[in-house]
Structure 1
């Protein structure tokens, strides 16, 4: 483990970012206790910096404070996961429309490469690879949309919803359903058609909303996300 001295001067923002990433990437399970002393050692940070990070992440909805019991990773219910996805539908539709008119040639090349990699992952049965390309596609749309407010909100929502997103990606048959939806998004973006890009993104996330209840009632898979 890297020591605090090896990591360099402590910055409170860096502690928040590191802990946020660890929660968002599934390193901590829902309802898992977050012990300040353990986190201080893990991240090479002072107890004060960890405490400040936990307070910040509580305001973001990633952590919840328990009376006389410290902090834990906040678990997201199925109903809340559906609500989050409905909000994503609006915001990511907006970003897709904006991105369609702002993409560079390099962006279009990246998009087509992501689409090809998604097709290969589905044909190879590579669910983790498909999940990573999915994340990459949505991140590219957020970046290219150049709408910082929507982008910040979506980053928070993604962190809150990471477990439901992963279970959806691992749901049998789901990649075959979502692949043509993602390819439609890519096609509209590369064509520079904002209306079609927005509708394709909304249609995809509408499908997610419809599928989440089915995924929520299924047994939890053994595989868990390590890095998104």
Structure 2
């Protein structure tokens, strides 16, 4: 019989292995009070990146389930990781970010209170900037009309809820989290936003979403803005 964990930490991976050690050590620290699994879903990394990732996992001294994405792109990798998760609660994380020590405790508290989606605040680095989440659904909907209201590595959700809304859509790769959150915001899902700091969010030149085709990403973002605008108008009609 398969083992069931408290949390599944899902990390898509194509590049950025040089940051993996700090990311994995932060996962181990945050999971100290829980039975958590770490799933890294491989999205076509180079042999050099994969070799470095394996070395970083060994250095971190943490058990990792390495799986191969069923399809190309970050959305397919995330969906594959979510499908493989054995826990009822999924933590969305990235290989280049650092989880705060209290993150899983915060999420456990909010999931116990009935949340299906949890969005926490982040501190962007190395140029420090606090990114706070909007407080409440209406504030998040208003922000979604001009920008993504949440930081993707600060999100967590129940496996059932994210699959119920359809998971990640590969058509929106590059803005995949924003598109998912826009569906969640106008769904019946129970959303909790948390002003506490959940993650250190690293910004650098080789981030996946910063290396996507800019025209593709901008067009998809405009589609999301328009869909959110129409949903807002329908809500107030």
In the superposition, the TM-score normalised over structure 1's length comes to 0.30
Q: Which has the higher contact order (CA 8 A, sep 6+)?
A: 1
Structure possessing the higher radius of gyration over alpha carbons: 1
Which structure has greater helix proportion? 1
